[in-house]
Amino acid sequence: MAVVVALLALRWLLVQLRGDRVRRVMLEPEEGSGRSELVSGAAQGAVEDAVGGYPGVRRARARMQGSDRSPRLRLDVTLDDDADVVDVWSRVRGEALTDLRGSLEEDRLPTVVRLSMAAPKRNRPRVA
Protein backbone atom coordinates (compact mmCIF):
# COMPACT_ATOMS: atom_id res chain seq x y z
CA MET A 1 0.00 0.00 0.00
CA ALA A 2 2.80 2.41 0.84
CA VAL A 3 4.36 1.81 -2.59
CA VAL A 4 1.10 2.76 -4.34
CA VAL A 5 0.81 5.96 -2.28
CA ALA A 6 4.46 6.80 -3.01
CA LEU A 7 3.94 6.28 -6.76
CA LEU A 8 0.81 8.43 -6.75
CA ALA A 9 2.65 11.16 -4.84
CA LEU A 10 5.54 11.01 -7.33
CA ARG A 11 3.14 11.26 -10.26
CA TRP A 12 1.42 14.27 -8.68
CA LEU A 13 4.80 15.95 -8.13
CA LEU A 14 5.86 15.39 -11.74
CA VAL A 15 2.59 16.86 -13.04
CA GLN A 16 3.12 19.94 -10.85
CA LEU A 17 6.64 20.47 -12.16
CA ARG A 18 5.72 20.00 -15.81
CA GLY A 19 3.82 23.27 -16.17
CA ASP A 20 1.83 24.11 -19.27
CA ARG A 21 4.58 25.01 -21.71
CA VAL A 22 3.90 24.37 -25.35
CA ARG A 23 6.66 22.68 -27.35
CA ARG A 24 4.97 22.90 -30.77
CA VAL A 25 2.16 25.03 -32.16
CA MET A 26 -0.17 23.55 -34.77
CA LEU A 27 -0.67 25.77 -37.81
CA GLU A 28 -3.73 25.72 -40.04
CA PRO A 29 -2.84 23.38 -42.90
CA GLU A 30 -3.30 24.59 -46.44
CA GLU A 31 -5.78 22.65 -48.52
CA GLY A 32 -4.29 19.39 -49.71
CA SER A 33 -1.23 19.60 -47.46
CA GLY A 34 -0.38 17.64 -44.36
CA ARG A 35 -0.05 18.78 -40.80
CA SER A 36 2.02 21.92 -40.18
CA GLU A 37 3.58 22.79 -36.88
CA LEU A 38 6.01 25.38 -35.54
CA VAL A 39 8.49 24.70 -32.76
CA SER A 40 7.49 27.14 -30.03
CA GLY A 41 11.12 27.91 -29.20
CA ALA A 42 11.49 29.55 -32.61
CA ALA A 43 8.46 31.76 -32.02
CA GLN A 44 9.60 32.63 -28.50
CA GLY A 45 13.11 33.46 -29.74
CA ALA A 46 11.77 35.68 -32.52
CA VAL A 47 9.62 37.67 -30.07
CA GLU A 48 12.48 37.96 -27.58
CA ASP A 49 14.87 39.17 -30.29
CA ALA A 50 12.38 41.69 -31.69
CA VAL A 51 11.33 43.16 -28.35
CA GLY A 52 14.86 42.94 -26.92
CA GLY A 53 16.04 45.20 -29.74
CA TYR A 54 13.65 48.04 -28.89
CA PRO A 55 15.26 51.14 -27.36
CA GLY A 56 15.07 51.04 -23.57
CA VAL A 57 14.53 47.27 -23.31
CA ARG A 58 17.09 45.54 -21.15
CA ARG A 59 15.67 42.02 -21.45
CA ALA A 60 12.68 40.22 -22.96
CA ARG A 61 11.51 36.71 -22.10
CA ALA A 62 8.69 34.97 -23.98
CA ARG A 63 6.99 31.70 -23.08
CA MET A 64 4.31 29.87 -25.03
CA GLN A 65 1.74 28.23 -22.79
CA GLY A 66 -1.58 26.47 -23.16
CA SER A 67 -1.96 23.76 -25.78
CA ASP A 68 -0.61 23.18 -29.27
CA ARG A 69 -3.97 24.15 -30.82
CA SER A 70 -4.79 26.99 -28.44
CA PRO A 71 -1.53 28.71 -27.47
CA ARG A 72 -1.11 31.66 -25.16
CA LEU A 73 1.92 33.90 -24.74
CA ARG A 74 3.49 35.31 -21.62
CA LEU A 75 5.97 38.10 -22.30
CA ASP A 76 8.11 39.56 -19.52
CA VAL A 77 9.96 42.74 -20.50
CA THR A 78 12.50 44.49 -18.29
CA LEU A 79 12.99 48.14 -19.17
CA ASP A 80 15.80 50.53 -18.39
CA ASP A 81 14.87 53.13 -15.78
CA ASP A 82 14.73 55.86 -18.44
CA ALA A 83 12.84 53.87 -21.11
CA ASP A 84 9.81 55.28 -22.91
CA VAL A 85 7.22 52.83 -21.57
CA VAL A 86 4.45 54.00 -23.89
CA ASP A 87 6.68 53.56 -26.96
CA VAL A 88 7.78 50.08 -25.90
CA TRP A 89 4.18 49.03 -25.17
CA SER A 90 2.99 50.40 -28.52
CA ARG A 91 5.71 48.55 -30.41
CA VAL A 92 5.13 45.29 -28.56
CA ARG A 93 1.42 45.46 -29.31
CA GLY A 94 1.65 46.87 -32.84
CA GLU A 95 4.72 45.07 -34.15
CA ALA A 96 5.92 42.04 -32.19
CA LEU A 97 2.54 40.54 -31.32
CA THR A 98 1.07 41.31 -34.74
CA ASP A 99 4.04 39.59 -36.42
CA LEU A 100 3.75 36.58 -34.10
CA ARG A 101 0.01 36.20 -34.76
CA GLY A 102 0.75 36.31 -38.49
CA SER A 103 3.47 33.67 -38.16
CA LEU A 104 1.18 31.42 -36.14
CA GLU A 105 -1.72 32.12 -38.52
CA GLU A 106 -3.87 33.07 -35.53
CA ASP A 107 -6.45 35.86 -35.42
CA ARG A 108 -6.21 35.89 -31.63
CA LEU A 109 -3.32 35.08 -29.36
CA PRO A 110 -4.17 35.62 -25.69
CA THR A 111 -1.13 37.37 -24.24
CA VAL A 112 0.01 38.59 -20.87
CA VAL A 113 2.66 41.30 -21.10
CA ARG A 114 4.47 42.24 -17.92
CA LEU A 115 6.58 45.39 -18.07
CA SER A 116 8.97 46.05 -15.19
CA MET A 117 11.58 48.70 -14.65
CA ALA A 118 15.17 47.76 -13.88
CA ALA A 119 17.16 49.48 -11.21
CA PRO A 120 19.37 52.30 -12.49
CA LYS A 121 22.85 51.28 -13.60
CA ARG A 122 25.36 51.89 -10.82
CA ASN A 123 28.08 53.67 -12.77
CA ARG A 124 25.78 56.21 -14.40
CA PRO A 125 26.80 59.80 -13.61
CA ARG A 126 24.17 61.76 -11.72
CA VAL A 127 22.73 64.87 -13.31
CA ALA A 128 22.23 67.73 -10.90
Determine the Cα–Cα distance for residues 57 and 30; give it in Å rounded to an integer.
Answer: 37
The predicted model scores a pTM of 0.68
Chain length of the chain: 128
CA 42 vs CA 24, 34, 62, 63: distances in Å = 9, 21, 11, 11
Digit-coded pLDDT (tens) for 65-81 = 877 677 888 999 999 98
Report the topology of domain 36-119: Alpha-Beta Plaits (3.30.70)
Closest CA to 50 of 70, 84, 67, 75: 75
Digit-coded pLDDT (tens) for 25-77 = 655 555 555 555 566 677 888 899 999 999 999 999 998 887 767 788 899 99
Q: Quickly list DSSP for 48-106.
A: HHHHHTSTTEEEEEEEEEE-SSSEEEEEEEEE-TT--HHHHHHHIIIIIHHHHHHHHT-
